[in-house]
Amino acid sequence: MIPYGRQHIGDEEVAAVLEALKSNHITQGPRVPEFEVALAQKVNVRHALAVNSATSALHIACLALGLSEGGLLWTSPNSFVASPNVARLCGANVDFVDINPDTFNMCPLELERKLILAKSEGQLPDIVMPVHFGGESCNMKRIAALGKKYGFKIIEDASHAVGAKYAGIPVGSCRYSDATVYSFHPVKIITTAEGGMVFTNNDELATKMNLFRSHGVTRDKSLMTHASDGPWYYQQVELGLNYRLTELQAALGIEQLKRLDEFLAKRHKIAGVYDSAFSDSPFRAQERLKDNYSALHLYIIRLDDTYSKADRAVLFKYMRDAGIGVNVLYIPIHTQPYYAAQGFQSGDCPNSVDYYERCLALPMYPDLTTEQQLYVIETLQNGVLSLRT
């Protein structure tokens, strides 16, 4: 089966992980801060904190921004369930802002419409979490302007957008947000097996997230309530978790980061081949804006409106039967039983449902060969033709 996504692990990664394994510190050693500094420099941001998953990163960002019971976070329904779940774990409520039918990202017009209504009802969100779906950045200038006007904080869920650029600046620089999160799950752009990173330019937020990452415990005298008892002393000043990344994972991450630009170039080459093969088709790919540089985590096509949900199911089976591991991303989160039980209706975000019923993720990863890709293209074209006969 040709999968829809897959990691590339080279000999350098294997050697680096082995070396870390044989070193004195297999957790909390020098590699984690080395990985953090390298990524902070890459995205041009003040603080980078490595954690054991993007979910953990989103969670400590919400905690550090003070999200708690009675709070409210808005995100995109076209995301992985982790995006809203972290707000629920903080005891807050969530709501969803529908997507734009071309970019598949949170629609800024819809966001504004919803904000005007929420203001009149006195229920403005504390945090808005745009998700850079497929690696293509949301319209951050617009969202940040609305953040100023309506007084909400912004966490970018850039799990898909590792190495991407928005209007020429790196996603992760937090120019238009309070914090930005990367994922290093194997199916994403670079991997640490499990892992994530949270970026911020806000010193106070970084200090808080650092506490939440590790039990709320500190050895920093400036954060203690009284003088230290001695060199062994630490204080717990917050209620935190253990969300730390290991040295083995950081070693893997450091090597993967060296390949990031090459990975992205390969993804763009593959996307270019798909784009030109599909230029005259009854489906279209996710829109990528000229000013942006997508990380192209996913290459998603969407059948036009003359096709039904059933057609997509037939096409999915056709591709899978041909040994092509196409996928469907994402099931609109507000339709998941957990969220439906809180009163969300399918029709609350119609664009995301419409998108879900007609979308298909094609294989997209650096090691996809030209031969494999041509097979995917030919099979897809035959599959789409077969829907009309």
Ligand X SMILES: *Cc1c(COP(=O)(O)O)cnc(C)c1O
137 near ligand X (CB under 6 A): no
Q: Which of 137, 173, 183, 351 binds ligand X (CB under 6 A)?
A: 183
Report how far residue 196's alpha carbon sits from residue 185's, in angstroms, rounded to the nearest whole number.
Answer: 8
Supply the DSSP string of 309-320, one letter for each residue: HHHHHHHHHHHH
Report how far residue 386's alpha carbon sits from residue 389's, in angstroms, rounded to the nearest whole number.
Answer: 5
Strands 196-200, 179-183: pairing kind: antiparallel
Q: Are 229 and 215 in contact (CB under 8 A)?
A: no
196 near ligand X (CB under 6 A): yes
Shortest Å, Cβ 301 to ligand X: 19
Kindly write out the interface string for residues 141-180 of this chain, putting x where it contacts ligand X by CB under 6 A and - elsewhere.
----------------x-xx--------------------
Shortest Å, Cβ 319 to ligand X: 22
373 near ligand X (CB under 6 A): no
Query: Nearest to residue 353, comparing CAs of 373, 383, 333?
Result: 333
Shortest Å, Cβ 133 to ligand X: 7
Shortest Å, Cβ 296 to ligand X: 14
Strands 235-236, 217-218: pairing kind: antiparallel
Q: Which of 39, 47, 53, 92 binds ligand X (CB under 6 A)?
A: 53
**76: β partners:** none
Nearer to ligand X (CB atom), residue 92 or residue 380: 92
Stretch that binds ligand X, among 2-10, 52-60, 93-101, 357-365 (CB under 6 A): 52-60
DSSP assignment letter at 127: E
Nearer to ligand X (CB atom), residue 136 or residue 157: 157
Q: Which of 165, 185, 259, 358 binds ligand X (CB under 6 A)?
A: 185
Contacting ligand X within 239-298 (CB under 6 A): none
Shortest Å, Cβ 156 to ligand X: 10
84 near ligand X (CB under 6 A): no
Q: Which of 80, 212, 263, 307 binds ligand X (CB under 6 A)?
A: 80
Strands 127-129, 93-96: pairing kind: unpaired
Helix, strand, coil percent content, the chain, rounded in steps of 5 = 40, 15, 40
Stretch that binds ligand X, among 47-55, 122-130, 309-317, 366-374 (CB under 6 A): 47-55
DSSP assignment letter at 293: B
83 near ligand X (CB under 6 A): yes
Shortest Å, Cβ 128 to ligand X: 15
DSSP assignment letter at 331: -
Tokens of 289: 């804006």
Report how far residue 193's alpha carbon sits from residue 180's, in angstroms, rounded to the nearest whole number.
Answer: 20
Nearer to ligand X (CB atom), residue 129 or residue 368: 129
131 near ligand X (CB under 6 A): yes
- Give me the residue label for tokens 């290093």: 184
Nearer to ligand X (CB atom), residue 79 or residue 379: 79
The gap between the terminal CA atoms of the chain, to the nearest Å, is: 26
Q: Which of 82, 140, 257, 362 binds ligand X (CB under 6 A)?
A: 82
* Residues 11-49 as b or e (16 or more Cβ within 10 Å = b): eebeebbeebeeeeeeeebebbebbbeebbebbebebbb
Nearer to ligand X (CB atom), residue 52 or residue 351: 52
Shortest Å, Cβ 131 to ligand X: 5
* Residues 101-117 as b or e (16 or more Cβ within 10 Å = b): eebbbbbbebbbebbee
54 near ligand X (CB under 6 A): yes
Stretch that binds ligand X, among 21-29, 64-72, 80-88, 207-215 (CB under 6 A): 80-88
Chain Cα centroid distance, residue 82: 9
Size of the site for ligand X (CB under 6 A): 14
Stretch that binds ligand X, among 74-82, 118-126, 208-216, 219-227 (CB under 6 A): 74-82
Site residues, ligand X (CB under 6 A): 53-55, 79-80, 82-83, 131, 157, 159-160, 183, 185, 196
